Amino acid sequence: MKLEDIGILKQALPYIRQYKGKTFVIKLGGELIKEYDIIDDISQDISLIYQIGIKIIVIHGGGPQATELSKKLGISPKIVDGRRVTDEETLEVVKMIFAGKINHEILTMLRKYGAKSVGLSGIDGNIIVAKKRPPVSYSDKKTG
């Protein structure tokens, strides 16, 4: 260990003491985690935070990934006012991306760097109970 490293640890120590045993919630947007290397870098940071005694809850997005897979499957994504309109076809794609691909990638990376991790989706154990929004209606600006 270098002398500079000890100085960095001394600077971090008050924060480690203050936050040890606390829980941090970290939101990773889908745009941020499009690249494998970025997930790897973020996972190293999250694992370090975990290893100093801070509990972590990671919530991730995946909109761009869901849009990409939808297009590959021939499903036209429907976005109204910045929100995805989720029909039955799109719901299947979203489940594959959010609870499958992205969740698995993040868990794999966190475990690679020593963070114990478990993947959950909102449907697991009724963690999240949602109400369906009313149907979206809009008119095409070109055709009225």
Predicted TM-score (pTM) of the model is: 0.78
- Quick check: 99 and 60 in contact, CB under 8 A? no
Q: Select the more confidently predicted residue: 96 or 1.
A: 96
User: pLDDT digits over 13-62, tens only?
Assistant: 999 999 999 999 999 999 999 988 999 999 999 999 999 999 999 999 99
> What is the CA 117 to chain-centroid distance, rounded?
13
Q: Does residue 126 surpass a pLDDT of 80?
A: no
Orientation of helix 103-112 relative to helix 36-51, angle to 10°:
50
User: pLDDT digits over 88-118, tens only?
Assistant: 898 899 999 998 999 999 999 999 999 999 9
Domains and CATH numbers, the chain: 23-126 (3.40.1160.10)
Half-sphere exposure of 62 (CA within 13 A, CB side): 23
Predicted local distance difference test score (pLDDT) of residue 45: 96
Half-sphere exposure of 57 (CA within 13 A, CB side): 8
